[in-house]
Amino acid sequence: MTRTTVTGGRLIMAAAASVFALAAYAGPDEDELVVNDEIEMVTKTDAPAHLDGLDTIYSGWRFRSDETQAVQTDDFDNPAMLWVEQAGEVWKTAEGSEGKSCASCHNDVDSMAGVRAVYPKWNEAAGEVRTIEMQINDCRENRMGAEPWKYAGGDMTNMSALLASVSRGMPVNVAIDGPAQSTWEKGKEIYYTRYGQLELSCANCHEDNWGNMIRADHLSQGQINGFPTYRLKNTKLNAVHSRFKGCIRDTRAHTFSPGSPEFVALELYVASRGNGLSVEGPSVRN
């Protein structure tokens, strides 16, 4: 039994190694992204000073096919905007014991421009780093008297996409110093930790092998400035923690849960790797 287990593990590791060994470099696309002929997106820029593994950072948009890229350039063609419109109606709908809607406090959703760009962020009153989903549920429970939404559920992902949409084109600017630093360090540790039977870390794909073609997939740098994202693979909006969960699951490991402290820390770290890129959400990916 021991021999079988060890041999099986070696075969898995050999298979994983062969995938990277056979990868062919394709590089990022050099086209520029402009949405609706008016929102200019920064999809390539110098890496932030705190990032050691990369000199230049690229949005995941640059690693998609021409056809997929084109879908994101026009809101009329972008399927994600259907859910954004739904969230726009929810924004104005009163819920909970207080009889309030999001608009009751924040007025038009355009007032939230720039918010997506700085999350996750340290919340002084709560004494913790909060994602935008955590803040949405805090508002629902403590200001509206409404039930919290499932962390990566449809209602939450739609609202997160709505908030991202009004920040499109603004630079990601996530703070990692001060009281947020310890959470950032935890996220960095998770990013470089190998998980699962395949013993792969986030960095193995998105730092060591970005730009490579592995089977039919063009590996990006794993930037999350485009989340929530509409994936052609499952034809729906996807939250960033759902993507984290899927990646770790694909290493054949037990994964963390959406909204867990581990994924909050990982989101802070990964978001900071994209400081300087434009907020793109809701984007379109494979």
Domain ranges of the chain: 41-284
The verdict on whether residue 202 carries a ligand-binding annotation is: yes
From the candidates 247, 248, 268, 270, which is the catalytic residue?
247
Beta carbons within 8 Å of 208's beta carbon, 6+ residues apart: none
Tell me whether residue 143 is annotated as binding: no
Each residue of 57-84: pLDDT tens digit? Answer: 999 999 999 999 999 999 999 999 999 9
Alpha carbons 140 and 155: distance in angstroms, whole number:
12
Q: What is the pLDDT of residue 53?
A: 84
Q: Averaged over 22-47, what is the pLDDT? A: 90
* Residue 267 among the catalytic residues: no
Predicted confidence band of residue 56 (pLDDT cuts 50, 70, 90): very high
**pLDDT tens per residue across span 119-159:** 999 999 999 999 999 999 999 999 999 999 999 999 999 99
Q: pLDDT tens digit string along 187-198?
A: 999 999 999 999
According to the annotation, is 139 in a ligand binding site? yes
Say whether 50 counts as a known binding-site residue.
no
CATH superfamily of 41-284: Cytochrome c-like domain (1.10.760.10)
Is there a binding annotation on residue 215? no
| 8 pLDDT higher than 90 | no
Please check the confidence at residue 91 and state whether its pLDDT lies above 60: yes
**Between 137 and 25, the higher pLDDT residue:** 137
Distance between CA atoms of residues 227 and 59, nearest Å:
11
- The answer to whether residue 7 scores a pLDDT higher than 50 is no
Residue 217: the pLDDT is: 84
SS3 state at 32 = coil
Place of tokens 């990601």: 172
Q: Is position 243 annotated in a ligand binding site?
A: yes
Q: Considering only 19-23, 98-102, 154-158, 205-209, which range has the smallest mean pLDDT?
A: 19-23
Query: Residue 213 is which amino acid?
Result: M
